[in-house]
Amino acid sequence: MEVGIIYLNYDNESLLGETKLSLKTFKKWKLPTCLITNHNIDNSDFGFDIVKKINLPFSNNKNMGFIYEHAPFEINWYIDSDVYLYGDPTYAIEKCAKHDLCLTHSPLYHLNYRSNILNSLKDEVSSNDLIEYQAGWVMFKKTKENLRLFKRCQQLALKYDDVSYNQQIFSLAVEQSGVNPFILSPNWNFRGFHQFLHGELKCWHNHWSPPSKEIARNTMQPPKVVEPNIVFSYRFKVLFNKYRDKLKRRFLLK
């Protein structure tokens, strides 16, 4: 069963440098990769196995709900550009093969605290106990149930044009479509805030990099707080902004 990684970069070239760094951590595990984009990229700079240049309806991450039709693998692992894989992904892949859909929850996992849930999306809320899932980390097989999930996500995204972010829309679609996901522990979507790291760090999900000492000894460990390396990450931000400027100059000269 082929397992592959999907990135979505749409109308935001500044994140391509970040995507390149993320890509390196997944290539280590020999997972094929696909980029869905509306940019003209020089793939020799990246090394994606598949690049799909397509038109999508939004200029923000609400386009995530429209990736199902373009997902090329048997098991598709959709991730944000700032997700980095530091541990063996086998367990998550095995669970997705068995359950068809694997999700993680947001560090702030109570959906009802969000302002757009209390306002624009309030008529879609069926309970005060709904979970906010991480829309930037979704592993799925192509099944009729998951097609129903993504179709519902598309419907909500189009219906609520004033809602800019997809995470609350996706979380409502999970609830309304009736899918039954396998939920992975927080170390698969560790964001470095409002969480304890317990055990091996699998995926770091943050624009700021993790402390190098944690990566160097990434083994089972007691619960603790792990915060981003802000100083190192400032230099990283400068680096990928330079990369973005290089791309802009290249496209302008063509």
CATH code of residue 31 = 3.90.550.10
Pairwise CA distance, residues 204 & 220, whole Å: 16
H or E element, residue 83:
strand 83-85
Q: How many helices (H) and strands (E) does the chain have?
A: 7, 9
| Degrees to nearest 5, angle at CA 58 with 56 and 61 | 100
Among residues 79, 65, 78, which one has the least CA distance to residue 153? 65
Pairwise CA distance, residues 156 & 212, whole Å: 40
Q: What is the mean pLDDT of the chain?
A: 86
Beta bridge partners of 85: 203
Is residue 76 pLDDT above 80, yes or no?
A: yes
Number of domains in the chain: 1
3-class SS of residue 221 = coil
Alpha-carbon dihedral sign for residues 195, 146, 2, 4: negative
Average pLDDT over residues 52-66: 92
Domain that holds residue 230: 3-253
- When pLDDT is cut at 50, 70 and 90, the band that residue 8 belongs to is very high
Looking at per-residue pLDDT, the higher value among 207 and 49 belongs to 49
Is residue 240 pLDDT above 80, yes or no?
A: no
What is the percent of the chain where pLDDT is above 70?
Answer: 83
137-157 pLDDT per residue, tens: 999 999 999 999 999 999 999
**Token digits of residue 174:** 């999970």
Average pLDDT over residues 69-94: 96
Which residues 6+ apart lie within 8 Å of 246 measured at CB? none
Is residue 226 pLDDT above 80, yes or no?
A: no
pTM: 0.84
Q: Between the CA of residue 38 and those of 57, 156, 172, 230, what are the distances in Å?
A: 11, 23, 27, 31
